[in-house]
Structure 1
Amino acid sequence: MCLPTAVALLTKRVEIASRCTWCLMRDEDTYHVMFDCSFARSVWARANIQEVDSANYTGDIVEFIQYLFFVCTRDKLVHLVMLYWNLWNRRNKWVWNRVSISGFGVQATTMNMINEWQRCQKEKRVFVSAANTIACTWKPPAQGWFKVNVDAALFTDSAGFGIGCVIRDASGGFVAARTQKIEAIITPKEAEAIGLKEALSWTKELRHKRCVFETDAKLLAEACKGVQRWTYFHTIVLDSIELFKNYDDVLVEFILRSANEVAHRLARATYSMSGVKEWVHNPPSFICDVLSLDYN
């Protein structure tokens, strides 16, 4: 018996026979419901995904699906996943409500889902394209938000790196800036991650609760959406994600270097500095020209 059925038995106390409730020919497990039942076979035949029929099931459903993912094209994979979901959904409707959906109905629902998914992908590509165009120049945040641009710079002739960050409000006005020089041997992506973490800690102390953090390190911005690896870089990112809890709203976005010039100049300036420097209300003179260009 497959896991969802067992869970249902425990929670709803409904007795279900171990046999497949549709064909009544074999015991019900995940492979049988999805691929081996006479109904499932008719659906796969209609879908014309030959890889399912030609695949050799060895008794491990995970390995079987992994094999299908390996041999199928991208388009067939999309079709396979959508069919898989609709077969399971159809099975549950039959078990719990005795609602019978035909093979044609499963296929039609699947095609509607694929068409909707493809439409969303096209809209996403248009949105990403527009976002990249906007990100070429600095833009102020929405009303009630603060924008924090952050950057890091490594110094090849010394064991150290600099961090620069600047906070501006919805009108584009300067709020505060901060630089920090750290003596350490580190990779560029790790320096960028530490820069974001330090910017989050600093902004938290200033009690700004709705912030957009912008970085020109694309890998860092993507990692903030979900860490899946365990390297030193990702450990630093996890520290930043933990700091998100101190904000009402927080975003980390990737922008081009041309839209991050103020933070870049602050980071480079730490070469001739030491420790931490902060400016509130009045910016340091060496970034005034870039601030003015962004504002205009």
Structure 2
Amino acid sequence: MDKGLFALMRGPRITHLFFADDSLLFTKATTRDCAKLQEILLLYERASGQQVNRDKTTIFFSKATPTATQSAIKDTLGVPIIKQYEKYLGLSSFVGKNRTACFTQLKERVWSKLMGWKEKLLSQAGREVLIKSIAQAIPTYTMSCFGLPNRLCQDLESMIRKFWWGHGPDKNKICWIKWSSLCCQKDSGGMGFRELQADTKTKCSYAWQSILKARDVIKNGIVWRVGNGKNIKIWKQRWLLEDNHHKVITPIPSILADSIVSELISPQTKQWDASLIDSIFFPYDATAIKSIPLSEGSPEDKPFWLGTSTGQYTVRSGYKFLQVEELKSQPSCSNLKPMERIWKDVWSLQVPKKIQVFMWCTLKDSLPSKLNLKKRHVVADPGCEMCAAPTEDILHALWDCPQAQAAWRGDTRLGEVRRSKFLNFTELWCHVRELEPPFDMEMFSTICWAIWHRRNKVRLKQPVDKADHIPVFAWEYIQEFQSSQEAPLPNPSSRPQAQWRKPTACGFKVNYDGAVFVQTTEAGIGIVVRNASGNPVATLSQKIKFPLSVEATEAMAARRAVRFALELGLIEVEFEGDSCIITEALNGEKYSRAVFGVIIEDAKALAQRLHTYSFHHVKRLGNSVAHALARRAQFCNVPNDRMESVPPNIQHLLFLDAS
């Protein structure tokens, strides 16, 4: 009994497992061991005053246990025998070779939900909500412990995909866009659905293999954070921080093959040895190396996860990482920024969700126009039924068709646009979006949606209003929707204080901020020190090399603020910054593995030299002086401009704080 059982050959011995208020005890199937177990339980009952509930206690035997032995042990313990523990906490207790059969109930649950929704009238926007909140949420709990078979994932995705496109028992509709594209993030042109086969790679697999299954995902997303650089091989490990640039690409000099990163850091200044780096590496690598922020101490090098601001791995970030890697492997245009802006504009429209989804379908060329139907071999004639044009694509249906033009003709701002020619609807969207003065894209989208629905009614011989009535309908529709979305104004008394406040004690308050200068790849630090009366004691504007992220810039500003307070000989200090992340990092351990974690550790270590100190968050309005000083650093002729008073062009902000 005291030795337990082997979980597997050459594996660990297990005597017991505790889950919440349940206990699982393991012993050999002999009357001697079971009698010993009975003695232990009776001893526990006498010592604790608690008694084992025999009605809720069961015993399970392996297949190799003889029936006679089972009966003897059952009589000894006085508890019933069960054939198998079917489920525990909603999950299968045993997973055999037929894994698909083991998880069949997942498929049945998803199917029953989808069939229950089929009879309801749902727009695609409504289907999106149900898919994300219910259909794709059902397998999540099981996937947190088990890796689902690929066949089961494919079946679940097939059911969800058909539901999205409107399939039913008596109708089959066209799937206009492949599932992998629908699973892309919305800012990449997808709907943000979850690809179960990719998601299961980021979670656990069966039993003890769970860690190994996600190991490759984590390994590919891990980068070393430079501390003292003694554990990082320059050419053999991933340690650069730029996007898509984590390993050095400069050819390896034979004499430097095993060099470590610490050899690139000056031991005197604890900064990068710029001349050495420039002499060894390509400019592309040299720039990336010199932009990595370094600690003023000598902390250990640490691996961190690229996908989160904290540097800690999460399942959500692992899934997004796999999506990005998949997109990299697919052919695409060299510049995706214009399309990312289009998708951002679509999903930020202040219109009903169904119109957002309609515009997404339009820009993805997935509306059932006559031309698209002909491409799918659904119809033979691609001509427009409204005007007898030989081809009806989406651009024609929503813009070029005379019936559609009747809806657009009333707006004089579109006169120049109507005289232009476009290759597709995306070109039209971009042209309208760039109009000056800006055109109301909510109005544009709603008119397009109304034109399409009118076109469908005409095809079905249903009564319709005149096309020139559409703009009035669209305007009223938008007004009704937006008025229903307006939230009540918050009570002024409940709003958080945003103005600068004097320090609560008799000490000093140090406000700090960082600013980024994109054009020069530099950054600025601004610091203002004020006494208990609110009068400025000293200010600082400092120009630094941009450390690749806004958070790292703010962290360097916080570190410089603490050092500045020490240089001034202060002992009681309140520090304030307008970065919530940095303030949270300074007050806890959440961001200890973040890229800027070494800078935060420096700031904390420096602050220990003060008698009393605290770190607080303040809104930008209460940090305006420090922000202006940080912006001023761009025009400073010296890298470290320290003053005993506030510059004249910033003094009005000081007066506003005082008032």
Q: Which residue of 1 aligns with 2:605?
A: 242
Q: Which residue of 2 aligns with 1:213?
A: 575
How many residues are aligned here? 196
Give the structure with higher Rg (CA): 2
Q: Which residue of 1 aligns with 2:643?
A: 279
- 2:518 is matched with which residue: 152, 156, 162? 156
SS, match of residue 260 in structure 1: helix
Question: Distance between the aligned counterparts of 1:57 and 1:207, measured in 2?
Answer: 64
SS, match of residue 262 in structure 1: helix
**1:89-117 Cα distance to aligned partner (Å, 9 max, x none):** xxxxxxxxxxxxxxxxxxxxxxxxxxxxx
**8 A Cα contact 1:150 1:263, kept in partner:** yes
| TM-score, with length taken from structure 2 | 0.27
**8 A Cα contact 2:546 2:553, kept in partner:** no
Q: Which residue of 1 aligns with 2:651?
A: 288
> 1:216 Cα shift?
0.6
> 1:212 Cα shift?
0.9
SS, match of residue 537 in structure 2: strand
> 1:236 Cα shift?
1.2
**1:147-185 Cα distance to aligned partner (Å, 9 max, x none):** 111000000101210000001111111111011101234
Question: Distance between the aligned counterparts of 1:245 and 1:185, measured in 2?
Answer: 25
Question: Distance between the aligned counterparts of 1:250 and 1:277, measured in 2?
Answer: 25
Tell me, yes or no, if structure 1 residue 265 matches structure 2 residue 628: yes
Question: Distance between the aligned counterparts of 1:277 and 1:239, measured in 2?
Answer: 22
**1:178-215 Cα distance to aligned partner (Å, 9 max, x none):** 11101234210000000000110110121211111111
Residue correspondence of structure 1 range 98-247 to structure 2 within 5 A:
133-134=496-497, 136-228=498-590, 229-247=592-610
Question: Distance between the aligned counterparts of 1:21 and 1:243, measured in 2?
Answer: 56
Q: Which runs of 5+ in 1 are unaligned?
A: 3-16, 42-52, 59-66, 72-128
> 1:20 Cα shift?
7.4
Stretch of structure 1 that moved more, 255-264 or 233-242: 233-242
SS, match of residue 565 in structure 2: helix
Question: Distance between the aligned counterparts of 1:167 and 1:214, measured in 2?
Answer: 10
Greater relative contact order structure (CA < 8 Å, 6+ sep): 1
> 1:143 Cα shift?
3.4
**8 A Cα contact 1:200 1:240, kept in partner:** yes
Normalized per residue, the structure richer in strand is 1
Question: Distance between the aligned counterparts of 1:187 and 1:221, measured in 2?
Answer: 16
Identity %: 26
> 1:232 Cα shift?
2.1
Amino acid at match of 2:588: G
Question: Distance between the aligned counterparts of 1:196 and 1:291, measured in 2?
Answer: 20
Please report the RMSD computed on the Cα atoms of aligned residues, expressed in angstroms: 3.7
Q: Which runs of 5+ in 2 are unaligned?
A: 1-14, 17-38, 57-87, 94-140, 146-491
Question: Distance between the aligned counterparts of 2:577 and 2:504, measured in 1?
Answer: 18
Question: Distance between the aligned counterparts of 1:226 and 1:188, measured in 2?
Answer: 20
SS, match of residue 165 in structure 1: strand
Question: Distance between the aligned counterparts of 1:232 and 1:160, measured in 2?
Answer: 18
Q: Which residue of 1 aligns with 2:618?
A: 255
Distance 1:267 1:55, change over 3 A: same
**8 A Cα contact 1:227 1:234, kept in partner:** no
> 1:130 Cα shift?
8.2
> 1:19 Cα shift?
5.6
Residue correspondence of structure 1 range 3-152 to structure 2 within 5 A:
22-23=44-45, 38=53, 54=89, 133-134=496-497, 136-152=498-514
> 1:253 Cα shift?
0.8
> 1:222 Cα shift?
0.7
Question: Distance between the aligned counterparts of 1:154 and 1:249, measured in 2?
Answer: 31
Distance 1:219 1:185, change over 3 A: closer
Question: Distance between the aligned counterparts of 2:650 and 2:92, measured in 1?
Answer: 65
**8 A Cα contact 2:527 2:539, kept in partner:** yes
